[in-house]
Amino acid sequence: FKKWLSGIGLIGGAKVDTRLVSESFVPGEQVRGEILITGGEDAQEFDRIYLDIVTRYKHDDSVREHTVAHHDAQDNLSVESGEERAIAFSFALPYETPLSIGSGSVSVKTGLEIPGAIDPSDTDEILVKPTPMQQAVLEAADHLGFRLHQVETEYSPRKGAPLPFVQQIE
């Protein structure tokens, strides 16, 4: 029974921890790091290991989560009991990623996909800084006397194509 509970990820299953080389990134920059996997009480097989860039946006009276980018780190991996593995990764942060100003929140979510089980995951919030061009616009507005009033990421499917939201800087 204990082996079955471990196999579906309820107790004693594998653990995942993502370590990023930095906690801040600029859109277009490479997100780099490694995924540390520690085997549980029994050997487990994973269909894939993936990383998602996720953000939240307002939609009417609720907050929704959206995957801005998806990166498959590895397919078909098995980990023995207590074994530790490190998998390096690197992928570009999309230019459409909202900036971490105002209510803008962006995370890297790592998942281990296990057939018929609860998938272990890890979420790490990152700071998304403006590109040099975005920073120049923000500084020019400040120099002209404008002050940042509010920043929201909200639902707007036509304006934010291909994403269902836009980040409004007022």
Dihedral angle over CA of 69, 72, 73, 78, nearest 10? 140
Grade residue 10 by pLDDT with cuts at 50, 70 and 90. Answer: very low
Grade residue 11 by pLDDT with cuts at 50, 70 and 90. Answer: low
| Residue 89 near residue 69, CB atoms below 8 Å | no
What is the rounded distance in angstroms from the CA atom of residue 130 to the CA atom of residue 133? Answer: 8
Where do we find the tokens 């653990």?
15
pLDDT at 7: 52
With H, G, I as helix, E, B as strand and everything else as coil, classify residue 135.
helix
> What backbone torsions phi and psi does residue 103 show, to the nearest 5 degrees?
-90, 10
Tokens of 52: 């998602």
Of 15-24, 46-55, 133-142, 161-170, the one with minimum mean pLDDT is 161-170
> Tens of pLDDT along 109-134?
999 887 766 667 899 999 999 999 99
Of 23-32, 61-70, 76-85, 112-121, the one with minimum mean pLDDT is 112-121
For residue 39, pLDDT beyond 50? yes
For residue 48, pLDDT beyond 70? yes
Grade residue 2 by pLDDT with cuts at 50, 70 and 90. Answer: low
